[in-house]
Amino acid sequence: MDNLDDLYQEIILSHNKRPRNEGALDPHSQEAEGYNPLCGDRLTIYVRQNGPTVEAVKFTGEGCAISRASASIMTEAIKGLSGAALDAKIAEVVDLLTAKEEPAVDPFDLGELAALLGVRKFPARVKCATLSWHTLAAALKKEASVSTE
């Protein structure tokens, strides 16, 4: 599995270096701020919904490579989703990252999201990876802020 780990690391580093959809979203319908005191990651997620559909999502903030890569991958993974599919996607990813048991999924079905699963080996970093997803969920519920603690 070494090659797969290398690939995952490359995906994380690439998203950290050249994040997709970084910057404020203008106009946006919702925004929320997420904070992970364990690591100091601070992200703001901006969402533009057209009816129930997420038309666009962007993020700003400071954080470690994992938190930024997770936010970047998230902005691509959820675009165009709406309603139950959107909620299910958020729940699925948070579950994959936090479930005690090794997830029974084919990493190739997950695309770049699979790269985030590498943090399961480093419990202290799991909250870095879930931060953007929790913050997105808060924005969708029109909550202004969320903390991982």
* Binding positions for Zn ion, rule: CB under 5 A: 39, 41, 64, 67, 128
- CA–CA distances in Å: residue 64 to residues 68, 70, 86, 127: 6, 10, 26, 11
- Is the CB of 43 or the CB of 54 nearer to Zn ion? 43
Distance CA 55, CA 76 (A): 11
- Is the CB of 77 or the CB of 119 nearer to Zn ion? 119
- The identity of residue 63, as a single letter, is G
- Is the CB of 30 or the CB of 67 nearer to Zn ion? 67
Tokens describing residue 19:
């994040």
Tell me how far, at minimum, the Cβ of 104 lies from Zn ion, in Å: 27
Distance CA 147, CA 42 (A): 9
Tell me how far, at minimum, the Cβ of 12 lies from Zn ion, in Å: 12
Tell me how far, at minimum, the Cβ of 144 lies from Zn ion, in Å: 21
